[in-house]
Amino acid sequence: MWIFIAFLILLPIAFAGLSLAPYVPTFPSDKKRLLDILPNEEKKFLEVGCGLGDVSLWVAKNYPEYQVTALEIAFPLYVVAKLRAIVSGQKNLTILYKNALKYDFSPYDIIYIYGLPENMDKKILPKYEQEMQTGSLLISYVFTL
Ligand SMILES: C[S@@+](CC[C@H](N)C(=O)[O-])C[C@H]1O[C@@H](n2cnc3c(N)ncnc32)[C@H](O)[C@@H]1O
C-alpha cells in the first residue's frame, strides 16, 4: 500500500524531470541575489516550474507590486505549492497546474526558470524568441542559454 502511494507521488515528479528538469530547488541564499536583478516597479513575473513554490513565494512577499504566476507540471509539487500560497495569504501570487511548454509567455515582463541546458536551448529558447516582448527579462538559474 505505502509503496503504491509513494509510486503515485514520485511518478509525476519523475516524468516532469523529462520535460524541463527534475525537482531541485533554487539554493535559499540565491533567492536573495534576485534583489540585485529585479526592478522595484509593477511587473508580471512568471516562474516556469515552481517546484514547492519557494522562489515565487519569496518574490511575491518581497515585491508586493508584482503579479506573480507560478507553473508546475508535477501534480504533487503543485498541490504543496498551492497550499503554501493559500496559507501565506499572498494575494499577488497564483500557482497553476500547467505545462509551461504550452503556456503563453507573452504577457510576462520577467520569467524565472531553472531548467537543464539541453531543454532550455531546445524548448525554452524558441518560446523566448517567439513570445517574449522586447525589454522583458529571462532569468535562467545555474545554466546559460
Ligand atoms: C529544477 S526544478 C526548479 C524548481 C524551482 N523553480 C526552484 O528554482 O526552486 C524544475 C521544476 O520544473 C518542473 N517542470 C519540469 N517540466 C515542466 C513543465 N513542462 N512545465 C511546468 N513545470 C515543469 C519540475 O517538476 C520541477 O519542479
Residue 120 DSSP code:
I
Tens place of pLDDT for every residue, the chain, 145 residues? 888 887 788 888 888 888 999 999 999 999 999 999 999 999 999 999 999 999 999 999 999 999 999 999 999 999 999 999 999 999 999 999 999 999 999 999 999 999 999 999 999 999 999 999 999 999 999 998 8
Do 60 and 68 touch, CB atoms closer than 8 A? Answer: yes
CA of residue 44 to ligand 1 center, whole Å: 19
Q: Which of 15, 18, 23, 103 has most ligand 1 atoms within 8 Å of its beta carbon, as the pocket-test mutant?
A: 23
Instruction: Please name the residues in contact with 139: beta carbons below 8 A apart, sequence gap of 6 or more.
Output: 34, 37, 110, 111, 112, 113
pTM of the model: 0.95
18 lines ligand 1 (CB under 6 A): no
For atom 22 of ligand 1, which residue has the closest CA?
49
Do 76 and 53 touch, CB atoms closer than 8 A? Answer: no
Do 44 and 67 touch, CB atoms closer than 8 A? Answer: yes
At 16 the pLDDT is 83
At 102 the pLDDT is 97
Taking the CA of residue 115 as reference, the ligand 1 atom at the shortest distance is: 1
Q: Which of 20, 75, 78 has most ligand 1 atoms within 8 Å of its beta carbon, as the pocket-test mutant?
A: 20
58 lines ligand 1 (CB under 6 A): no
